Amino acid sequence: MTMKLWYWPEIQGRGEFIRLALEAAGIAYEDCARVSGADALIADLDARKGRAPFAPPYLDIDGFTIAQVADILLYLGDRHDLAPSRIADRYWVHQLQLTIADLVAEVHNVHHPVAVMDYYDDQKPEAARAARQFREERLPKFLDYFEQAAECNDGPWMIDHRWTYADTSLFQLIEGLRYAFPRRMATLTPDYPALARIHGLVADLPGIRQYLASNRRIAFNEQGIFRHYPELDDE
């Protein structure tokens, strides 16, 4: 039975962390709203009772529904071999995923600091201020952390000697940061060789290479989480 993924059809957004894990693992899935549209996603979500998602993305697997990016990846890791096999490693990969999620939330907060339901245009001065501290303090603090985490592994990946969902998520994080903050990332990138290496290794996984070259990969744009507003970027 093919998994059904429900997420906004016109952005990478949080759904992209799920798409990448599925594509890297070669798991068949239907990206439902890309076929049937955003209205179908809203209708599907509204119709759900009981153990419903709070928000997309969510996976529907033969009637079992699971939401929240980190929880979906935990599930896929357990069931589809996208996580390391040792128990202690499984908590570590999840811990990394949750820290990536924290950084993603801070990235979103940069362009939506005071009103998550309003437009960026309605909060530009506040966003400029949020962006400054993000670029100068928060972003290097997180990247330092992930670099150090990668360095403590013997192998070339984040954990273990093979890719896990922490690697595909880290790839997306770096992709998104390079898109949103190209000038800042040009300055920072040389300081993080392990992260650049993992980014390259994930880009070269057969499933990811095919995915990135396909029309299934939506281009970054200014409706997603990683948005390029030149006025929010700086060296």
Segment contacting its own copies by CB under 8 A, of 18-26, 70-78, 202-210, 212-220 = 70-78
Work out how close the CB of 193 gets to its own copies at its nearest, in angstroms, rounded to a whole number. Answer: 18
**Rounded Cα distance, 24 and 211, in Å:** 8
Q: Are 27 and 2 in contact (CB under 8 A)?
A: no
Region 146-165 residues binding its own copies, contact defined as CB under 8 A:
148-149, 152
- Distance from the first to the final alpha carbon of the chain: 48
Segment contacting its own copies by CB under 8 A, of 3-11, 32-40, 144-152, 194-202 = 144-152
Nearer to its own copies, 55 or 203 (CB): 55
Q: Does 47 bind its own copies (CB under 8 A)?
A: no
Residue of 75, 179, 211, 229 interacting with its own copies (CB under 8 A): 75
Q: Does 1 bind its own copies (CB under 8 A)?
A: no
Angle between helix axes 193-203 and 139-151 (nearest 10 degrees) is 70
Beta bridge partners of 59: 5, 66
Chain residues that interact with its own copies, rule: CB under 8 A: 49-54, 64, 66-68, 70-71, 74-75, 88, 91-92, 94-95, 98-99, 102, 105-106, 109, 113-118, 126, 129-130, 133, 137-138, 142, 145, 148-149, 152
